[in-house]
Amino acid sequence: MKEAPFKTLLIREIQGAIIDFRFWVVLALCLSIIPLSFYVSVKNYAQRLSDYQQEIQSYRDKTGKVDAYMAAEGVHPPSPLSIFSRGLDSKMPYKVITSRDGNYKIEYAKPDNKKDMLGEIDFAFIVSFVLSILAIVFTFSAISGDKESGVLRGILSNAVLRRQVLMAKLLGNYLVFLVPFLLSMLVALLVVYFSGIIPIFSAALFPAALAMIGISLIFLFALFNLGLWISALARNSILSINVLLLIWIVLGLVIPKISPVIGAVLYPVESTSVFESKKTLLRVNILKEQSREEIALFVELRTLLRPEAAGISTGWDDVTGAFDEKVIPIREKFEQQLISETDKLTGDYTMRCDQQNRIAKSIARLSPIHSVNNLMAEISATGYSEADNFLQQAGRFQATVKQDVYDQYNIKNYHSGDGSVSMQMTADGFDAQTVPIPAIDQYRHVPVGKVLQQNLADIMLLCLYSLLFFVCGFISFLRFDVR
């Protein structure tokens, strides 16, 4: 079979799609909502960046200088790529507050109730919901509509293979659909660039932007194949659009929303607040036991060295000196116990949460809409991997503050049954006036290469859905009755 019939069919499909009213609707929507959403997102990012910088400055002004019991704060900076997808921004770990005893605290973002109620339109929402519906509208009558009008019978009465007809419809409509999308994306990126706030064409950001555009193209291709498949199955266009809308509701609304519920039922895990209460109770019990042993040791030494004395005094160099020497193994024992048992409790909780999330994510992956949303959030540094990344950097921040500040103060606490006293000394060469206020100044988001590697399964699933829908559509069209 010559290629001329296919070329003729492809040109026919392109011309027909361009003059169709649906193309101009897609063009108008893309050129209006996509650049506008990026403009609003950039303004929103600028406000969040300003709030972040003001919070850091306020913390430094409030702290003034370091001290032995200071609570250092590390704040999660907003991601410039969040203009593509806000993802879990409203539930992201937002701040770490360190503690001298090692029990650092994580604060989570406080969502804006008004924004949550009204919703926000970002690039991920436009692709996964708006453009996916437009792709369905573009293809629902591609085959069933031609059958109803008799055009398909006329085409197949010539020396034309069915696969040529199907490929012409797929490529012709898809290419025409991409023109408004890619044109609006170019306008949107220029809007971001000329805002002067986000260097979108920089080496750090542009590859991520291209990756999200590429993922969007794969996702839309999958939806086009789905539309052609159902159009080849349906007896008429009305049935085709109804079935496609039902499938879209299941894929876009039901599966992503119900998957966390199923995951929680199949593998229940207590809430974060309950876990934090367990961790606090563990620390309190261990520290109480340590305090009891230290008190018993001090009373024993006081009875031995000062049998007639009571209470406690910093002037008892013989008692305090002996106590400082003998208390070291006690404190080392409980420090190791505290670290090991806290790590064990945290590791167990993290493992169970990960298992629950894996179950929920496996169910949600039945929907390509979930896969594209998840990929957008992960690449935008507003997904689960970025939340884990902040928690890891929070632990390193606690360790850094301990080394640079807390360990520079030698706190000696002496307790007995009827009194206590504390002494504080600083290490040689340590000047609290000149030490910078600790903050997470060099925060690093997860690199896009690592994100793509971690989420390769979702990318492969989108490709698999495209192939699956195409094969099903191809088989259905081969068996399609054009009469």
Asked if 404 and 435 touch (Cβ cutoff 8 Å), the reply is yes
Could you tell me if 112 and 132 lie in one domain? no
Query: What mean pLDDT do residues 473-477 have?
Result: 90
pLDDT band at 28 (very low <50, low <70, confident <90, very high): very high
Q: Which helix (H) or strand (E) holds 321?
A: helix 317-364
Quote the pLDDT of residue 76.
93
58: closest CA among 83, 95, 93?
95
Asked if 457 and 362 touch (Cβ cutoff 8 Å), the reply is no
Could you tell me if 299 and 415 lie in one domain? yes
pLDDT over threshold 90, residue 42? yes
238 residue type, one letter: I
pLDDT band at 482 (very low <50, low <70, confident <90, very high): low
Could you tell me if 219 and 136 lie in one domain? yes
Query: What mean pLDDT do residues 394-420 have?
Result: 86
Could you tell me if 165 and 233 lie in one domain? yes
Q: With respect to residue 471, please indicate whether it lies within any of the assigned structural domains.
A: yes
Q: With respect to residue 53, please indicate whether it lies within any of the assigned structural domains.
A: no
Q: With respect to residue 374, please indicate whether it lies within any of the assigned structural domains.
A: no
pLDDT over threshold 70, residue 174? yes
**DSSP sequence for 127-146:** IIIIIHHHHHHHHTTTTHHH
Could you tell me if 466 and 441 lie in one domain? no
Per the structure, the complete domain to which residue 386 belongs is given by 60-118+268-341+380-425+437-447
Please state, in angstroms and rounded to a whole number, the distance separating the CA atoms of residues 233 and 147: 12
404 residue type, one letter: D
Q: Of the ranges 68-72, 191-195, 260-264, 271-275, which one carries the lowest mean pLDDT score?
A: 271-275
Residue that has been written with the tokens 């309950």 in this structure: 274
Q: Of the ranges 31-40, 122-131, 470-479, which one carries the lowest mean pLDDT score?
A: 470-479
Could you tell me if 67 and 209 lie in one domain? no
Specify the number of domains making up the chain.
2
- As a whole number of Å, the CA-based R_g of the chain is 32
Q: With respect to residue 468, please indicate whether it lies within any of the assigned structural domains.
A: yes
Q: Is the dihedral of CA 357, 359, 360, 366 positive or negative?
A: positive
Q: Of the ranges 175-184, 207-216, 445-454, which one carries the lowest mean pLDDT score?
A: 445-454
Structure tokens at 321: 């000196």
Quote the pLDDT of residue 430.
86
Quote the pLDDT of residue 46.
95
Could you tell me if 332 and 388 lie in one domain? yes
Q: With respect to residue 407, please indicate whether it lies within any of the assigned structural domains.
A: yes
Quote the pLDDT of residue 2.
45
Query: What mean pLDDT do residues 121-136 have?
Result: 93
Please state, in angstroms and rounded to a whole number, the distance separating the CA atoms of residues 34 and 84: 10
Q: With respect to residue 200, please indicate whether it lies within any of the assigned structural domains.
A: yes
434-466 b/e (C-beta count within 10 Å ≥ 16 → b): eeebbbbeeeebbebeebbeebeebbebbeebb
Beta bridge partners, 425, equal 410
Asked if 110 and 91 touch (Cβ cutoff 8 Å), the reply is no
Could you tell me if 21 and 167 lie in one domain? yes
Q: Convert the pLDDT of each residue in 60-119 to its tens digit.
A: 999 888 998 999 999 999 999 999 999 888 888 889 999 988 888 888 877 665 555 445
Quote the pLDDT of residue 118.
47
* Global pTM value: 0.87
Query: What mean pLDDT do residues 416-427 have?
Result: 79
Residue that has been written with the tokens 């030698």 in this structure: 410
Quote the pLDDT of residue 119.
56
Quote the pLDDT of residue 161.
84
Could you tell me if 280 and 213 lie in one domain? no
More confident residue, 288 or 113: 288
Quote the pLDDT of residue 92.
87
Quote the pLDDT of residue 1.
40
pLDDT over threshold 60, residue 159? yes
Quote the pLDDT of residue 359.
94
Could you tell me if 240 and 106 lie in one domain? no
Q: With respect to residue 364, please indicate whether it lies within any of the assigned structural domains.
A: no
Query: What mean pLDDT do residues 244-270 have?
Result: 93
pLDDT band at 314 (very low <50, low <70, confident <90, very high): confident
Residue that has been written with the tokens 């606090």 in this structure: 280
Q: With respect to residue 113, please indicate whether it lies within any of the assigned structural domains.
A: yes
Query: What mean pLDDT do residues 291-297 have?
Result: 90
pLDDT band at 8 (very low <50, low <70, confident <90, very high): confident
Could you tell me if 19 and 105 lie in one domain? no
Measured CA distances, 126 to 88, 134, 242, 369, 373 (Å): 17, 10, 22, 11, 10
Asked if 209 and 121 touch (Cβ cutoff 8 Å), the reply is no
Could you tell me if 253 and 396 lie in one domain? no
Q: Which residues lie below 8 Å from residue 193, measured CB to CB, with a gap of 6+?
A: 199, 200, 201
Quote the pLDDT of residue 158.
79
- Give the burial class of 427: count Cβ atoms within 10 A of its Cβ; 0-12 exposed, 13-18 middle, 19 or more buried: exposed
Please state, in angstroms and rounded to a whole number, the distance separating the CA atoms of residues 173 and 9: 12
Share above pLDDT 70 across residues of the chain, in percent, rounded to a whole number = 96
Q: Which residues lie below 8 Å from residue 347, measured CB to CB, with a gap of 6+?
A: none
What SS3 state is found at 196?
Answer: coil
Q: Convert the pLDDT of each residue in 355-398 to its tens digit.
A: 998 999 999 999 999 999 999 999 999 999 999 999 999 999 99
